[in-house]
Structure 1
Amino acid sequence: MRVGYLHTELSREGPGLMLRDIVSDAPQVAALRAVIGAAEADVLVLGDMDYDAQGAALDALNAGLATPYPHAQALQGNAGIDTGLDLDGDGRLGRPRDMQAYGRFAGQSGLGILSRLPIGAPVSLNALLWQDVPGSLMSAEERDTAGDVQRLSSGGHWIVPLAPVNGPALTLMVFHATPPVFDGPEDRNGRRNADEIALWQRLLDGALDSPAPSGSFVIAGTANIDPADGEGRLEAIGDLLADPRLIDPRPASPGGAAAEAGGQTGDPALDTVDWPEPAPGNLRVDYVLPSADLRLDRPGVLWPEKGAELAESVAVASRHRLVWIDILR
């Protein structure tokens, strides 16, 4: 069973615009569909998908695939949800930086799941306040001014049960953490990013109100941080990757290795995003991490070398690359 994740970069600047581009089969959308088809994932988590209550955008994307998935689930994150506070201190309310997570409208930059397996009812962790997370890095000043309002999750955290037809149940734990940049010396986004990543370990520790999965699980999403290079609190993702309850399958690609620009500490073959250089440059920021009880085969990153088949579609679809694992059942 193949489980994949792709940060699509399909999110748009206003409600309905992503659906418009999907319906019109814009070049990025056509390329994305080619990538999805080539990946042949049984379960595919899609990041940076604008949410609508009817799931129309995700359904339209799915309907245009050569082989549509029988099950789809759209998920709304915290982007664009107003806090009612002047979080950025600019003297104005209701601006994108005053939201629970940066966003121009409610529903911007959520997640979607396409699956050949039935999808159970998702459990959202998005209402959890940042100050209430065990070990929270929220500052004292932030607790005083916004502690009773500010949620931890930015793009969102969900626990989503699946029901494989010929095997035991599998739980998806999907998320999209804020980038640990675009702030100042207070490192607000860096601290929030670290806590968003650590939330999965707190869940597995039994430290949250929501129970941890009782069986096999897969964590999939954009952590927005590399364990060896770039900005942010690298120890946060390092701790998650080293957790004995998980497997770091270290998926790799020939395209990532060939795109190395030099100066990296980590292995460029493991990179999952083709960002401009010299900064931030190519990094490993997207992850599919199975529980330690699962047996794996052929993890990978869909990033062919330039000139290879599908290389152009991969580049047009998103700067991020699709990451997958194959689970042996």
Structure 2
Amino acid sequence: MPIEILQTGKLLASCEAALAERYTVHKLHEAADKDALIASVAPNIRGVAGGSMQADLMDKLPKLEIIANFGVGYDSIDTAAAKARNIRVTNTPNVLNDAVAELTIGLMIALARRIPQGDQFVRQGKWPGAQFGLFTELTGKTVGILGLGRIGKEIAVRAQAMKMRVVYYGRKRQVREPFIYYSDLTEMARDSDWLVIIAPGGAGTDGIVSRQVLEALGPRGMLVNVARGTLIDEPAMVEMLASGALGGAALDVFEKEPQVPAGLLGLDNVVLSPHQGSATNQTRDAMGALVVANLDAHFAGEPLISAVV
């Protein structure tokens, strides 16, 4: 009999097709009565494809062996609970590095040159009757990267191609990296023109970009978040963007997404994106393939490709 797995959210069509070829898939996100579905299939579920797994759901799946998360971030999974229950957890790193790094640089250019606003200026017939204005550029600026991991390094390389100076903050200095390391995030923000956030979400980073950090970045500073909305003191950020205490922000993520703070919607010094960091066909296909590959490896008794727990 095929191994039975639980799918917790919608996945790319290519991923869902590959899962269906190999496993009996129960789609929790499509169930009209989720509790009833879980009660009916729980004794047979050995794997999960997707995220959003907390301890209470794990406890309902007594034979659960592995959670194959779709995404590099796994803060929607209680990894401590999984480890305590001897449940393996995997994610999908590396395959989305380039896509997220490209979007980051795109957001930076869009904010610096006000590209979305310029598009609207033309569409609304304001040009050539009026001049759009002068803004700024990336060349010669210092970008501070919060989280110099796999994606952070790709952003750094691209920022250097834009003739920017790169510095970074993290839990520890990476001795093989050529960039200047800061052990204090506020100090780095004070010395940076741009602050790019690409650190993992979770309790350890909640609110790490505090009002103090935003004040250090200041009225000429630009903020970019392609990580998790929870890393920023969002109310403070909105207030400071509106008052001019913070120069600008390009945001791909929000604290309570898909809800976006209403205070951001009318600001000209903001570029907003609907969590599109990895949203390319090739990247999402690769992410889905890695979800399937981790499940296949586990049930074949082989080493996991990208284990978290």
* TM-score tier after normalising by the smaller chain length: under 0.3
Structure index of larger Rg? 2
Hey, which of these two has a bigger chunk of helix by percent? 2
Task: Normalising by structure 2, report the TM-score.
Answer: 0.27
Task: Normalising by structure 1, report the TM-score.
Answer: 0.25
Hey, which of these two has a bigger chunk of strand by percent? 1
